[in-house]
Amino acid sequence: MKTLTVALPGREYDILIQRGLLAQAGERVRAVLPQASKLAAVTDSNVEPLYRKPLLDSLTAAGFEARLFVVPAGEKSKNAAQLSRLWEGFMDFGLTRTDGVVALGGGVVGDLAGFAAATVLRGVGFVQIPTTLLAQVDSSVGGKVAIDLNAGKNLAGAFYQPRLVLMDPNVLNTLNLPQFMEGMAEVVKYGCIWDAGFFEFLTARPSRPELMADIEHILYTCCDIKRQVVTEDELDTGLRMILNFGHTLGHAYELAGHYTQWSHGEAVAAGMCAAARLGVSLGVTPADVPGKIEDALASLGLPTSIPCDAATYAAAVGRDKKGTGADVTAILLDKIGRAVPYKMPKAQLVRLLGSFHKIP
- Any idea what the CATH number is for the domain that residue 88 is in? 3.40.50.1970
Domain endpoint, select from 114, 147, 174 = 174
Give the domain extent around 95: 2-174
**Burial letters 16-51, b for 16+ CB under 10 A, else e:** bbbeebbebbbebbbebbeebebbbbbbbebbbeeb
CATH number at residue 305: 1.20.1090.10
Supply φ then ψ for residue 266, to 5 degrees: -60, -40
Domains identified in the chain, total number: 2
Residues 342 and 205 in one domain: yes
Tell whether 158 and 187 lie within a shared domain.
no
* 323: pLDDT strictly greater than 80: no
Do residues 13 and 92 share a domain?
yes
Note whether 132 and 233 are same-domain residues.
Answer: no
What's the whole-model pTM score?
Answer: 0.94
How sure is the predictor about 310, in pLDDT bands with cuts at 50, 70 and 90? confident
Residues 252 and 350 in one domain: yes
303 shares a domain with 212: yes
pLDDT digits (tens, 9 = 90+) for 260-276: 899 999 999 999 999 99
Q: Which of 174, 203, 235 is the last residue of a domain?
A: 174
Q: Are 183 and 302 in contact (CB under 8 A)?
A: no
Residues 81 and 114 in one domain: yes
Q: Is there a single domain that holds both residue 150 and residue 297?
A: no
Q: Does 359 score more than 50 pLDDT?
A: no
Q: Does the structure show a pLDDT above 60 at 31?
A: yes
**222 and 347 part of one domain:** yes
Single residue among 129, 153, 174 that ends a domain in this structure: 174
Q: What is the predicted pLDDT for the residue at 320? A: 65
Segment 123-148, tens digit of pLDDT: 999 999 999 999 999 999 999 999 99
